[in-house]
Amino acid sequence: MRNVDLKNCLFGHPERRNTAESKGDHLKYFIWIIRSIRSAISLPAYARYDRRGSMTDLLLLFFLAMTSLGCAETEQKLEVATISPKAYARLPFLIVPTDRLHAAIQPIAQIIEKDFVMGGQFEPSIKPAADVPKSQTDLKALWQEGRGYPYALFLSQPMKNTLEYRLYDTNAAAMLIGKRIVINADADIAWVGHQLADKLNELLTGSAGSWASLLVACKREKKGKKDFRHIYGICPGQAYDQASAWSPLVKGSTIHFGCRWHPTKPLLYFSEHTPYNVRLVSLDEQKTKRIVMNFDGHNMMPAISSAGTTAVSITNNGYDRLYLYHVDKKSNRGIFEPLTPAGMHAIAPSFVTDNQLVFCAIENHLATIMLVDCTTKKRTPLVQGGYNVAPVYCPAKNLIAYCKKIDGTVQVFTYTMATKENKQLTCTPGHKDECTWSPCGNYIAYSVGFGNESRIAIFSFKTLEERFITPKGEFWTFPAWSGIYEQRPFA
């Protein structure tokens, strides 16, 4: 795991570190250090999670008073807010597979463990036991252990085709939830584990999970002297280890890129190079490829609303224009209606509502994030000036994520639709591109380029950490995070 770079985020870039605003950043750094020390101190369980006053709080106030003496200059107002990392202790979480758990579904415990590790809010451990707890004394013993487990999940299998899970608050010696799941003989056990991890995550944190989903990305691979780009997929929770195996989904002697998911069904869209054009292709849950659009030029990056409205970027007279696709009821024929004018490059569409679309407009060597009304064709600039690309809307958060070049490096930003506020999420080395939201809106995946190397990373809004999920020395681009579907895509 790699935390957001404190040196860049809090102290600014080298050429700006001696400005007045950097002194305020020193204060943030001292506070962060003290909180980190507080989290690292080995305290008894009852003290570790007590957020009331303590000696470290007094130390915080001391540093606040001392450092404020050197920060008397007027603080400069910035147009862009920067999110800085927070220090906190990950909550120990005990997973207990009992002896009554059949070997065939033992992997569920490991899947929940990995999903929780990836989430970053818990520190899970697996500790087998003979059976579920029989008394409150048994539960309180878990709380009083050296690590102090505030929550414990017990997994058992009273019958061959069922899984029973019970979640306990060990300090209160109370069961929070207990349910029995029927598992069919042909069930995808891994998917059952991810779905259970999502339910537990929502119960414990109040926020929906996104582990029962699929993350795809394009990987550059060589065959002789030729470069190809193939599409791979992985369940996001299992990507916590950079050496995790990504499953190949689309291979072949060509280049695939620009992955996009259908919002309501497990259907993946991507573009594919041919000797004559770049065509748009789909891949259904049975891994069946179908050509969707095959016009001259580029056919790429479709956007589909929850109601089924479709927009796509197609090359016309040398320009990438956005078109709205619909079927004429009288003739029963598909019609492409232009949304953007000739002379403007328009790419990377993403629906905000069924009638509003955010996209990247490129004119006069400037890239602007724009909103277009699909009925009136009226365009409204949202983020202007410089290099602003790859917008994607998140309905769960009502935010637009995009990439913006700042001080020579492309970073990830968000734009709040309600307040029109821009926030910088990343301050780390490497050029970011092609953001994609998790279904819950708590994570953003994107590519990070370092010259001849490109990696996929995930930023967590819960922990404010950036974690790489692909190894060094490889070239990965165009991540796309699926929605939550009833069945596992491409199982």
Report the CATH number that the domain containing residue 417 is assigned in CATH.
2.120.10.30
- Tally Cβ neighbours within 10 Å of residue 162: 14
**The two three-digit tokens of residue 403, written as one number:** 């990439």
The pair phi, psi for residue 420, each rounded to 5°, is: 60, 30
| Spatial CA neighbour of 240 closest among 23, 465, 400, 45 | 465
The answer to whether residue 487 sits within a structural domain is no
Sheet of strand 215-223, all strands in order from the earlier edge strand to the far edge? 247-250, 226-234, 215-223, 476-481
How many whole angstroms separate alpha carbon 368 and alpha carbon 388?
Answer: 5
Contact between residue 187 and residue 487 where contact means Cβ atoms under 8 Å apart? no
In percent, the amount of the chain with pLDDT more than 70 equals 80
Least confident among 323-332, 399-408, 480-489? 323-332
Same structural domain, 35 and 176: no
Residues in CB range of 162: below 8 A, 6 or more apart = 180, 181, 182, 183
Q: Is the pLDDT of residue 4 over 50?
A: no
Predicted local confidence at residue 241, as pLDDT: 67
pLDDT tens by residue, 315-350: 877 788 999 988 777 888 888 899 999 889 999 999
Q: Which of 159, 180, 205 represents a domain boundary (last residue)?
A: 205
In a domain, residue 86? The reply is no
**Residue 301: predicted pLDDT:** 87
Does residue 488 belong to any structural domain of this protein?
Answer: no
Same domain membership, residue 159 and residue 34 = no
Give φ, ψ of 229 to 5 degrees.
-130, 120
Per-residue pLDDT band for 46 (boundaries 50, 70, 90) equals very low
Residue ending a domain, among 80, 104, 127, is 80
Domain assignment present for residue 491? The answer is no
Residue 482 has pLDDT above 60, yes or no: yes
Question: Of the residues 31, 58, 80, which one is the last residue of a structural domain?
Answer: 80
**CB-CB contact of 155 with 173 (8 Å):** no
Most trustworthy range by pLDDT among 88-97, 246-255, 397-406? 397-406
- Mean predicted confidence (pLDDT) in 71-93: 51
Do 365 and 311 lie in one domain? The reply is yes
Residue indicated by tokens 């849950």: 285
* Domain co-membership, 401 together with 254: yes
CA distances in angstroms from 116 to 16, 94, 137, listed in the order given: 38, 11, 27
| pLDDT, position 244 | 67
The whole-angstrom separation of Cα 249 and Cα 93 is 34
- 24: tokens are 């305020």
CA distances from 347 to 111, 277, 344 (A): 38, 17, 10
Q: Are 403 and 432 in contact (CB under 8 A)?
A: yes
Q: Assess contact for 483 and 209: CB atoms under 8 A.
A: no
Verify that 129 and 66 share a domain, yes or no. Answer: no
Name the domain count of the chain: 3
| 192/222 same-domain check | no
Largest CA distance in the chain: 76
Asked whether residue 73 falls in the same domain as residue 139, the answer is no
Residue reference for tokens 């998917």: 191
For residue 394, the surrounding DSSP H or E stretch is: strand 388-394
- Please report whether residue 176 resides in a domain: yes
Helix (H) / strand (E) element for 20: namely helix 20-40
The pair of three-digit structure tokens given for residue 380, joined into one six-digit string = 């409204």
Q: Please check whether residues 101 and 166 belong to one and the same domain.
A: yes
193 and 222 housed in the same domain:
no
Do 163 and 305 lie in a common domain? no
Does some domain include residue 409? yes
In a domain, 120, yes or no: yes
Write out pLDDT tens, residues 188-218: 888 999 999 999 999 998 888 899 999 999 9
127, β-bridge pairs: none
Per-residue pLDDT of 85-101, as tens digits, reads: 454 578 899 999 988 78
In this structure, the answer to whether residues 124 and 59 fall within a common structural domain is no
Q: Please say if the pLDDT value at position 29 is more than 70.
A: no
Shared domain check, 401 and 451: yes
Q: What pLDDT sits at residue 352? A: 95
Residue 245 placed within a domain: yes
In this predicted structure, the answer to whether residue 378 has a pLDDT above a threshold of 90 is yes
CA separation for the pair 208, 35 (Å, rounded): 27
Q: How far apart are CA 53 and CA 104, in angstroms?
A: 48
Residues 374, 415 contacting (CB under 8 angstroms): no
Domain encompassing residue 191? 91-205
The residue ranking higher by pLDDT, 35 or 159, is 159
Decide if 62 contacts 15 (C-beta within 8 A): no
